[in-house]
Amino acid sequence: MGKELNVVGARLPMMDAAQKVKGTALFTDDLILPGMLFGKILRSPVPHAKILNIDTSRAEKLPGVKGVYALAKDKVRYIGDDVAAVCAIDPEIAEEAVELIKVDYEELPAVFDPLEAKREGAPEIHEGIKNNTSFAIKKEFGDVQKAFAECDAIFEDIFYSQPVNHAPLEPHAALAQFDPLNGELTIWSSTQIPFFLRRNLSNTLQIPESKVRVIKPKVGGGFGQKIDLFAKDFCAAWFAIQLGKPVKFVYEREEVFICTRQRHPMYITVKTGMKKDGTILAQKFQAHADGGAYNSTAPTMIALSCYFLMIPYRVPNLIYEGYHVYTNKPVGGAMRGHGIPQARFAVERQLDMIAARLGLDAAEVRIKNSIHAGEPHPAKFIINTCGFSDSVKKAADAIGWKEKRGKLPLGRGVGLAGASFPSGVSNMSHISSGAVVQLGRDGAVNVLSGAADIGQGAETVISQIVAEELGVPIEDIRITAADTGITPLDPGTFGSGVTVRAGNAARLAAISVKQKLCNFIADKLEANVADLVAKDRNIFVKGSPEKGMTLSEAIKSYQYADLPMPIVGRGSWMAPATEPTTLFKEDGNFAPSYSFMTQAAEVDVDLHTGKVKLLRMVTAHDCGRAINPMLVEGQLEGSVVGGMGQALYENVIVEKGQVMNPSFLDYGFPTFLEMPEIEAIEVETDDPIGPFGAKEAGEGTQLSPAPAIVNAIYDAIGVDFMELPITPEKILDALEEKKNRKNS
Amino acid sequence: MKQAIELNINGDTHEILVSPNNTLLEVLRDKLGLMGTKRGCDLGACGACTVLINGDAYLSCIMLAVDAIGKEILTIEGLAEGGDLHPLQRSFVENGGLQCGFCTPGMILTAKAILDEEKHPTEEVIKRKMAGNLCRCTGYKKIFEAVMSVTEQSGKEF
Amino acid sequence: MRLPKFEYFAPKDLKEAVSILRNEPSAKILAGGTDLLVNMKHKVECPPAIVNIKGINDLDYIKQDNGAVRIGALTTLKHIYMTSLISEKLPALAEAASAVGSYHHQTMGTLAGNICQQNRCKFFNQSLWWRSSRPTCFKAGGQICHVVNKKEICYSSYCGDVGPALLVLNAKIVVTSSRDSREILLEDLFSGDGKAPLNLNPGEILVEIIIPLEEMDGVSGYTKFANRENIDFPIVGTAFWASMENKEYRVAFTAVDRKPLRAHQAEAFLNGKNLNEEILEEAAELAAKDAKPVKTSVYSTTYKRRLMGLLLKSTVSEAMRRAKS
């Protein structure tokens, strides 16, 4: 790289780590305001029904109840749908009051399968939405029919990816307060999207955005589940306005499981045409996403699952058909990967199966089809850096591919899967970020950023970038973030865009303030501005450190000059878009940059009980450059265990529209005892777009663990699994079936 | 009608009004403003509500407040010595054993209970005893390394 | 989720406790609380009164006298497996105690509490709101069982770990009320009725668990198979005891029936024989016939039956291996 970096690239603890280990970090439910009231939501026990009547009289009479409101809707569309809300002086009374609300439902026929819901005659879940399909696209890149004709072999397979719950440790919560004199609403919310939340609250409450202030406290995990305006946000705000008191809503764990969001279950058919040497020529991909009762982020999810079929492998001809279909079940939304994990599972599995059918090595097939930086792309992606084929080689080496694949005893196996993810998105409006950097007389640096840190360490990464730019240690940085009343705009934490987008904005703001300062002191130092460097809390002439002054002296002399102005630097950043695109109308570069990775898994299948143990997962990961390697590892390790959960343990089990396992006990995601060995290998490509070369590192890493594990299971026991999760029972059934087939 | 009880928390005696059906978690958070102990599920399945009672790890969300009378209760707020972090807290910070921080107080207190019981537990013992503390962010690896790092320092008092 | 309101009693001694229980026949006993309080938050159990017995002294002990190992009802699970007498001489019990839930549950949970735990079912162990999607189930006070869709019968499963371990150790229990104190075989405590799993009269409290000393002469073990290694309830749990000299064997299972199941048919088949894999497989099949698992959880009954056989083999081989070393 050539660059000598001091703060960027360092393994630093998160800036708020001390608060978190001391228990003084404040999450939404930790906030108390005088006179605070507590809310609870009444939810539908039936999957599909007209609301005939809501009788709140008994609830209203309960001493301590301050307000009961029915939500303005005529229908409920899933078990868990919000119906009414209560506000009381303490949570116990609120709970009691909810039980006293009597609702008369007229049950309607319900539908629980998206393929059935799409058919003629299926119950209509949303008025006017034909075939319950809220969103559908068909896109073609290249000429698929022609390409299929040129293939040596065509394979078609069907896959299913199950509903998964994010299960963040902190339940969703909101605390709202209203000032009747100036008409301003303030809301603290456990959210990933403070600015979008502001907009959505403004629209639903009919208050101007300028009168809505959203503040994000510490957030205890989101993974996509805290995107969207939820009933707790709206109801807290509504009650605060009506009652003139602060109002807090906190969800129970079962509400988080049932009434927030989950990863869309997807039914997928993939048809892939190959040359016999393993070159992919064409692909036809059809997906039915089970959207549950409402739309949430359907179009984005479908778009991602479409476009990211053409990366990390070269797929020059593609037909994508995607449907988002309503069912009377919990709502699908953004979850780490947002449509891509499901697609990735299908294509990575199929690629392995194709390699086996063609007698090719699964790692080499991936290298063969790997995209490279700068090559033309069917959807016009601009790929400046790409470490994919490198990542395949490194992951394969590290897992011992040559020695192990196909060679381990029955029950042990290794498998690979690759992926790519956008570092934020280019082709949507409002995806821009702003930052402000202010300098204090003692050299202290104050950063304002709209970025929403939900535990991934965004504030730390941004601070490292600013510190590097200004030549100060990170201890000198103080950051205020994610307060729509104070900080500049940022779309929020989704699409893995924060480091690139908010990081770049902060970098530009730091450069801006550094520039102002340097312009001023260049005269004093009798130097050219271009020759000044900032390092170790000093600004000096490159090569002549004695010709300089401390940052603090520089600021003071700036402030005492004839025309003192505050030292403020501003920056804003948006991904360069090649053409204006609206996701589906025109092609264009989808994201400012793309991360790449390959994960290699080694598993041990217990042939008696069917339990699969993930022994080891290696990730070779191209995130451009790791601004903070310790935080990047954290993202990776969390993703691997999350992917393992998706592959082997997790499933939102729904019977007749009811979630049967809405608890941490029954929805068993991995614990310490399931932890595998995890190894991270960095593939540094130093991207030109991201700050200091960085690309995303938070979501891409959860795309490939599940297929890597399933591919390893194939190597271990010779069974192709087409559905997730792979439970011990399924393993035993498959082994039994395999035995019977052999015998017959 | 509520009754007045005394609870000894982090070395201090507090007199509070409680109902028998108040859990210790509710009392810590709602009545004493000790927000470090978290409510992750309220049903004893995640460990975020862990407190130490006479040195042992308890789930405060499934424990009656009145059941804590006469015991020494330690919450995360009571761990640091004055301005300094406890060695476990420092290790979590230095080893990156946290991300969102919500499970962190529970993790640290459970680790303390384990290390108070035996100074050098095996890796297997640590994993088994911490399996009741769930984390969704970290994948556990750095938390495990943070705890192991403390066990490797001999002669430390916890 | 808040606990419902209740009248609270904290007796200082056993005499006071049984007197309160006599006057409050619907009261529930609070020991560790890890089972009862969760059920109360779910409002499947809403006792008008709770009797906290943890204030009673002399119910927390492990001693050896009168030809038996005697364990007080309030002895915590952790204390049990940390006591070398148990871990070395009665390994089935130590292994079962250390298999329960999480480390915290073992600290809080008591031996009697684990024995007397409420039966479980995916339709029962849910919140009040969740259950309002269907008519109240029979166990929770309604009329129908949602598992088998029949009226006035309950198929909930017994899922405790120490139950089967104590069964293979031929444990007895002492049950005390204000009127009398009786000693019964642990096996007789379990009714096999999902709705009222324990044969305890109102006003009675389990105070002591007795394991005859001669049980220490055998080899024993307990294995739990669960989704996640420690923290989950067993999908199947298996306990085994053997006297190698007399070729006498005892086998018990949990999570396969409405009570912990002593597999008498399997035992009768095994007694007198040398154990090998085929013999154990046949025994497991007999045990599987004895068991009546129903789909009270998300695991299929076929899988449970299969696991019974597997676990029997692995528990036996582990117990034997340990005995040799």
Q: Which residue from B minimizes the CA distance to C6? A: B21
Per the CB < 8 A criterion, the answer to whether A217 and A31 are in contact is yes
Q: Which residues, listed in sequence order, are joined to residue A189 by a DSSP beta bridge?
A: A174
How long, in residues, is chain B? 158
Which chain B positions have a beta carbon within 8 Å of A221's beta carbon? 99-100, 102, 136-137
Residues C319 and C217 in one domain: yes
Q: Which residue from A minimizes the CA distance to B92? A: A21
Q: What single DSSP character describes residue A456?
A: S
Nearest of A266, A230, A294, A288 to residue A39 by alpha carbon: A230
Per the CB < 8 A criterion, the answer to whether A355 and A276 are in contact is no
Cis peptide before A312 (omega within 30 of 0): yes
Q: Are strands C248-254 and C236-243 parallel, antiparallel or unpaired?
A: antiparallel
Contacts (Cβ under 8 Å, ≥6 apart) of A600: A395, A396, A398, A399, A401, A414, A415, A416, A617, A618, A620, A708
- Span B13-59, pLDDT tens digits: 999 999 999 999 999 999 999 999 999 999 999 999 999 999 999 99
Which chain B positions have a beta carbon within 8 Å of C78's beta carbon? 56
Give the count of beta carbons closer than 10 Å to the beta carbon of residue A584: 15
Q: Is C122 in contact with A666 (Cβ distance < 8 A)?
A: yes
pLDDT number for residue C134: 94
SS3 A398: helix
Which burial class, exposed, middle or buried, applies to C12 when counting CB atoms under 10 A from its CB (0-12, 13-18, 19+)?
A: exposed
Per the CB < 8 A criterion, the answer to whether A364 and A169 are in contact is no
Instruction: Point out the residues of chain A with pLDDT beneath 70.
Output: 1-3, 427-430, 563-564, 578-586
Residues C220 and C279 in one domain: yes
Q: What CA–CA distance (Å, rounded) separates A728 from A713?
A: 12
* Tokens 């087409």 sit on residue: A722
Residues C48 and C106 in one domain: no
Mutate to test the interface with B, among C43, C103, C106 (most CBs of B within 10 A): C103
Query: Per the domain annotation, does C298 fall within a domain?
Result: yes
When CB atoms are compared, the residue of A27, A253, A639 closest to B102 is: A27
Which burial class, exposed, middle or buried, applies to A146 when counting CB atoms under 10 A from its CB (0-12, 13-18, 19+)?
A: exposed
Angle at A68 between CA A62 and CA A69, to 5 degrees: 160
Q: Are strands C49-52 and C7-9 parallel, antiparallel or unpaired?
A: parallel
Q: For residue C24, give the CATH number of its domain.
A: 3.30.43.10
Nearest Cα of chain C lies from the Cα of B111 at a distance, in angstroms, of: 11
Q: What CA–CA distance (Å, rounded) separates A263 from A331?
A: 9
Q: Is A25 in contact with B101 (Cβ distance < 8 A)?
A: yes
Q: What CA–CA distance (Å, rounded) separates A506 from A500?
A: 10
When CB atoms are compared, the residue of A79, A609, A665 closest to C310 is: A609
pLDDT number for residue A429: 60
| Max Cα–Cα distance, chain B, nearest Å | 51
Which chain A positions have a beta carbon within 8 Å of B52's beta carbon? none
Q: What CA–CA distance (Å, rounded) separates C287 from C236?
A: 12
Q: Identify the helix (H) or strand (E) that includes residue C306.
A: helix C301-324
* Tokens 């040559």 sit on residue: A402
Chain B / chain C CB contacts < 8 angstroms: 86
A64 interfaces chain C, CB cutoff of 8 Å: no
C8 interfaces chain A, CB cutoff of 8 Å: no
Which chain C positions have a beta carbon within 8 Å of B110's beta carbon? 103-104
Q: Is B129 in contact with C103 (Cβ distance < 8 A)?
A: yes
Categorize the per-residue pLDDT at B81 as very low, low, confident or very high, splitting at 50, 70 and 90. Answer: confident
Per the CB < 8 A criterion, the answer to whether A48 and A108 are in contact is yes
| End-to-end Cα separation, chain C, in angstroms | 49
Q: What CA–CA distance (Å, rounded) separates B126 from C47?
A: 38
From C41, C56, C71, the end of a domain falls on C56
Angle at A678 between CA A677 and CA A679, to 5 degrees: 125
Q: What CA–CA distance (Å, rounded) separates A369 from C15?
A: 79
Query: Per the domain annotation, does C9 fall within a domain?
Result: yes
Residues C49 and C81 in one domain: no
Q: Is the pLDDT reported for residue C266 higher than 70? A: yes
User: What is the rounded average pLDDT of the residues C304-323?
Assistant: 90
Nearest Cα of chain A lies from the Cα of C67 at a distance, in angstroms, of: 40
Query: Per the domain annotation, does C303 fall within a domain?
Result: yes
Compute the half-sphere exposure of residue C178: CA atoms within 13 Å on the CB side of its CA: 13
From C56, C71, C91, the end of a domain falls on C56
Q: What CA–CA distance (Å, rounded) separates C46 from C26?
A: 9
Residues C44 and C169 in one domain: no
Q: What CA–CA distance (Å, rounded) separates A21 from A697?
A: 24
Distances from the Cα of A199 to the Cα of A18, A212, A489, angstroms:
33, 8, 12
Give one word for A703, left, alpha or beta, with left for phi > 0 and alpha for psi -120 to 50.
Answer: alpha
Mutate to test the interface with A, among C125, C131, C227 (most CBs of A within 10 A): C227
Distances from the Cα of C300 to the Cα of A592, A655, C304, angstroms:
48, 15, 6
Residues C165 and C286 in one domain: yes
Q: Please state the φ and ψ torsions of residue A257, each to the nearest 5 degrees.
A: -70, -35
pLDDT number for residue A590: 85
C227 interfaces chain A, CB cutoff of 8 Å: yes
Q: Is C41 in contact with B64 (Cβ distance < 8 A)?
A: no
Residues C213 and C261 in one domain: yes
Residues C213 and C241 in one domain: yes
ipTM: 0.97
Which chain B positions have a beta carbon within 8 Å of C108's beta carbon? 58-59, 62-63
Q: What CA–CA distance (Å, rounded) separates A638 from A456?
A: 10
Q: Identify the helix (H) or strand (E) that includes residue C212.
A: strand C205-212
Q: Is A671 in contact with C229 (Cβ distance < 8 A)?
A: yes
Residues C1 and C101 in one domain: no
Nearest Cα of chain C lies from the Cα of A714 at a distance, in angstroms, of: 21
- Span C59-113, pLDDT tens digits: 999 999 889 999 999 999 999 999 999 999 999 999 999 999 999 999 999 999 9
Distances from the Cα of A581 to the Cα of A319, A420, A577, B49, C224, angstroms:
19, 21, 8, 48, 57
> Computed from CA positions of residues A619, A369, A298, A482, in that sequence, does the dihedral angle turn out positive or negative?
positive
SS3 A381: coil
Q: What CA–CA distance (Å, rounded) separates A216 from A16?
A: 15
Mutate to test the interface with A, among B18, B100, B122 (most CBs of A within 10 A): B100
From C31, C56, C81, the end of a domain falls on C56
Distances from the Cα of B8 to the Cα of A587, A598, B11, B89, C33, angstroms:
65, 53, 6, 23, 21
- What tokens were used for B112? 């303390």
Q: Identify the helix (H) or strand (E) that includes residue A145.
A: helix A144-149
Q: What CA–CA distance (Å, rounded) separates A590 from A428?
A: 9
Q: Is the pLDDT reported for residue B157 higher than 60? A: no
Query: Per the domain annotation, does C141 fall within a domain?
Result: no
Residues C7 and C101 in one domain: no
Query: Per the domain annotation, does C143 fall within a domain?
Result: no
Helix pair A458-470, A498-525: axis angle to 10 deg: 20
Query: Per the domain annotation, does C140 fall within a domain?
Result: no
Q: Is C2 in contact with A653 (Cβ distance < 8 A)?
A: no
Residue type, B125: V
pTM, full prediction: 0.97
Q: Each residue of B7-32: b (16+ CB within 10 Å) or e?
A: bebbeeebebebbbbbbbbbbbbbeb
Q: For residue C252, give the CATH number of its domain.
A: 3.30.465.10
Q: What CA–CA distance (Å, rounded) separates C133 from A258?
A: 14
Residues C179 and C282 in one domain: yes
Mutate to test the interface with C, among B2, B42, B67, B118 (most CBs of C within 10 A): B67
Q: Which residue from C minimizes the CA distance to B134? A: C231
Q: Which residue from B minimizes the CA distance to C47? A: B21
Per the CB < 8 A criterion, the answer to whether C296 and C157 are in contact is yes
SS3 C121: coil
Q: Could you tell me the domains of chain B?
A: 3-76 (3.10.20.30), 87-151 (1.10.150.120)
- What tokens were used for C65? 């006298």
Number of folded domains in chain C? 2
Q: Could you tell me the domains of chain A?
A: 31-108+167-259 (3.30.365.10), 262-426+583-743 (3.30.365.10), 432-574 (3.30.365.10)
Nearest Cα of chain C lies from the Cα of A478 at a distance, in angstroms, of: 38
Contacts (Cβ under 8 Å, ≥6 apart) of A481: A216, A447, A448, A449, A450, A451, A452, A453, A458, A459, A462, A487
Residues C109 and C36 in one domain: no
Q: What CA–CA distance (Å, rounded) separates A333 from B156?
A: 48
Helix pair C301-324, C277-290: axis angle to 10 deg: 140
Which chain C positions have a beta carbon within 8 Å of B64's beta carbon? 8, 30, 33, 37, 52
Q: Neighbouring chains of A at 3+ CB pairs within 8 Å?
A: B, C
Nearest Cα of chain A lies from the Cα of C142 at a distance, in angstroms, of: 17
Note down the domain range covering C45. Answer: 1-56
When CB atoms are compared, the residue of B42, B44, B131 closest to C34 is: B44
Q: Is A95 in contact with C229 (Cβ distance < 8 A)?
A: no
Contacts (Cβ under 8 Å, ≥6 apart) of A619: A395, A597, A598, A599, A636, A640, A678, A679, A680, A681, A701, A704
